[in-house]
Structure 1
Amino acid sequence: MGLFERWLSIWVALAILAGLGLGLVAPNAFALLAGMEVASVNLVVAVLIWAMIYPMMVAVDFTSIRDLAKRPKGLIITLVVNWLIKPFTMAALAVLFFEHIYASLIDPAEARQYIAGLILLGAAPCTAMVFVWSQMTKGDPAYTLVQVSANDLVMVVAFAPIVALLLGVTDISVPWSTLLLSVMLYVVVPLGAGWLTRKRIVTRFGGDLHALDTFIARLKPASILGLLATVVLLFAFQAGTIVAQPALIALIAVPIVLQSYGIFALGYGAAWAWKVPHAIAAPCALIGTSNFFELAVAVAIGLFGLSSGAALATVVGVLVEVPVMLSLVAIANRTRARFPE
């Protein structure tokens, strides 16, 4: 791993502090940036999210799906956890905490916003960062590509209906046009651009995958910088709320942390019980645990606005993501011997 990936938690922490400081020092400047929208999509955030997603989409090889039949167990666990369990447990935890446990602490209207943000997080399994987590656990890179590719294909058709269903259950109005536009912008279009880029490079260099790897490596700094710049921007937008209500961040983080460890235990335990090799089991569990927070943040901003409670909840997901995932990587590495080779 490069310098940025190895110390990512530190860079994210510094980006959060920078965002809070800048947001307090220059609130008017960030209010101007927040107003740069087209069809409910913030243009600045869109550019940064594209910078994050595009390099990872180039790395996705959809032709690898043809090898699924040889080793289907890891993929089955990933798909079942990601699409049949995770969104619904996250929604249940969100309702439990914000409508019951936190009922005396948070206004009901605000609570619905936080529930919406957590639902968006739960319905968006990881696409980009999972490659980092897989590498850190010595995961099978080819199989990780298969899992990510399959998840992306399912996400294209399943994300919007699941989110709309769960938001409807929690009595939150869903503007379908904005939701579908976000899926197109942050899943379909990057996937298509990544596929075209990959195809062109492979064709140009006569199938030389080293040339493709070199191209992706050159894009990596842009991806990490896009992530950090997005964190700075989002925390700057929310600086006033965060500083005024630091306890609120901790309250939002609790169900996210519980969901993360619970989903990991479920996926990892299922892989162990099914005797899945560790090189497949670890990425399998980590994909379900990690979130495609770029998409969740983008959809929250598009649906509810930059200064909404839903956007804040997804930003807290970014805050929690890295330290939690690093701890789960450590757990996976320490338990490697309990899995078959």
Structure 2
Amino acid sequence: MSVFERYLTLWVALCIVVGIALGHVIPGVFQAIGSAEVAKVNIPVAVLIWLMIIPMLLRIDFAALKEVGSFWRGIGVTLFINWAVKPFSMALLGWLFIGWLFRPYLPETQIDSYIAGLIILAAAPCTAMVFVWSNLTKGEPHFTLSQVALNDAIMVVAFAPIVGLLLGLSAITVPWDTLVLSVVLYIVIPVIIAQVIRRQLLASAGKAGLERLLHILQPLSLVALLATLVMLFGFQGEQIIAQPLVIALLAVPILIQVYFNSGLAYMLNRISGEQHCVAGPSALIGASNFFELAVAAAISLFGFNSGAALATVVGVLIEVPVMLSVVWIVNRSKNWYERGAAVQNLQKAERTV
């Protein structure tokens, strides 16, 4: 994990300050950026999102899908958490905390938008940072790669229906044309571009060439993320100054869903007898979010000034410290995990064979 990634929360906090300050000093520049749209797509943001997402997708090897059967317990648990639990639990937490408990402390006109942002944030599992979290837990690399490849394949067809369903249940108007366009722009096209580049590079320069390119592009990806955040907070500055508790209140349901989903995945793996090196990354993939896609989708659907965009950014703000705490829990509980009856029975059966 690079120093830049380890201190992502600090950089995001600095982006909040810089963005708010610039929004007050040069508001005309931000208005010009916000108006640079073609077919409801903000061109500067689209470029930045591609710079964020494509380097991450370069790591994905869809050939790893053939390994899925080797880790069927962990794969099954993670798929259940990612696609049947996490988006719906986040919607429930959004309704409970933002729509009810915290409602008096939030701007009334943005309540539905905040809930929408939380739903979008939880609707797609993380693609890139999970490789870091898996490595920190000494996770099985083939499981992590195959799980991420499978999630990406599912995301192409499942992201829009899940978001549309949950926004509809929340009585939030779903701009389906914009939602589908977002999926094409920020999932389908980047996946195709990344896979074409990956295959050509592996054929010409091998894995060493791919690693060199990733080493060059990874900092560019993070810089693009931070530039997007500066723009977001340039638009959100007045709202944040008027409601300084907004970020803290939005963080509550995000924190709860991370610990709930990671804990549930960890326990289900233990009950099923899966080995710890699979259960660790399974819990982390089950809990983490593809926040780059979430930010892009929220901006496309609701705009820079929306509560939805702000809610997804809060996910970025707390991602690193929260996931590092989950890593710590997984590592510290390894002995307890391996004392599970199902885990021990499976280990005995494997030794017998």
* TM-score band, normalised by shorter chain: over 0.9
Query: For residue 290 of structure 2, what is the aligned residue in structure 1?
Result: 292
Query: For residue 256 of structure 2, what is the aligned residue in structure 1?
Result: 258
- Using the TM superposition, name which of 115-124 and 215-224 deviates more: 215-224
Kindly provide the CA deviation profile for residues 33-79 of structure 1, in whole angstroms up to 9, marking residues without a partner as x.
11112222221121111111111111100001111112211111111
Query: For residue 127 of structure 1, what is the aligned residue in structure 2?
Result: 127
Kindly provide the CA deviation profile for residues 6-45 of structure 1, in whole angstroms up to 9, marking residues without a partner as x.
3333323323322222223222221211111222222112
Kindly provide the CA deviation profile for residues 115-160 of structure 1, in whole angstroms up to 9, marking residues without a partner as x.
1111111212111222222222222233211111100111111111
Would you say the 8 A contact 1:89–1:259 is kept in 2?
yes
Structure 1: 4+ residue segments shifted above 4 A: none
Query: For residue 42 of structure 2, what is the aligned residue in structure 1?
Result: 42
Query: For residue 313 of structure 2, what is the aligned residue in structure 1?
Result: 315
Query: For residue 342 of structure 2, what is the aligned residue in structure 1?
Result: none
Letter in 1 for 2:217: L
In the aligned structure 2, how far is the partner of 1:210 from the partner of 1:336?
34
Aligned-pair distance for 1:339? Answer: 4.1
Query: For residue 278 of structure 1, what is the aligned residue in structure 2?
Result: 276
Q: Residue 223 in 1 paired to residue 221 in 2?
A: yes
Would you say the 8 A contact 1:133–1:329 is kept in 2?
yes
Q: Residue 193 in 1 paired to residue 193 in 2?
A: yes
Superposition RMSD on alpha carbons, in Å? 1.8
CA 1:229 to 1:324, structure 2 compared with 1: closer, same or farther past 3 Å? same
TM-score for both structures, normalised by structure 2: 0.91
Kindly provide the CA deviation profile for residues 253-286 of structure 1, in whole angstroms up to 9, marking residues without a partner as x.
1111111111111112212222322322222111
In the aligned structure 2, how far is the partner of 1:74 from the partner of 1:8?
29
In the aligned structure 2, how far is the partner of 1:93 from the partner of 1:136?
29
Kindly provide the CA deviation profile for residues 185-216 of structure 1, in whole angstroms up to 9, marking residues without a partner as x.
111111111110111012223xx322222222
Aligned-pair distance for 1:222? Answer: 1.1
In the aligned structure 2, how far is the partner of 1:337 from the partner of 1:227?
38
In the aligned structure 1, how far is the partner of 2:8 from the partner of 2:100?
35
Aligned-pair distance for 1:218? Answer: 2.1
In the aligned structure 1, how far is the partner of 2:125 from the partner of 2:290?
5
Query: For residue 156 of structure 1, what is the aligned residue in structure 2?
Result: 156
In the aligned structure 1, how far is the partner of 2:316 from the partner of 2:207?
32
Structure 2 unaligned segments of length 5 or more: list them.
Answer: 339-346, 348-353
Query: For residue 212 of structure 2, what is the aligned residue in structure 1?
Result: 214
Show the 5 A alignment for 1:175-194: 175-194=175-194
The percentage of counterpart residues that share the same residue type is 51
Aligned-partner SS, 1:286? helix
In the aligned structure 1, how far is the partner of 2:24 from the partner of 2:277?
45
Would you say the 8 A contact 2:51–2:221 is kept in 1?
yes
Would you say the 8 A contact 2:106–2:243 is kept in 1?
no
In the aligned structure 1, how far is the partner of 2:132 from the partner of 2:234?
26
Query: For residue 78 of structure 1, what is the aligned residue in structure 2?
Result: 78
Structure 1 unaligned segments of length 5 or more: list them.
Answer: none
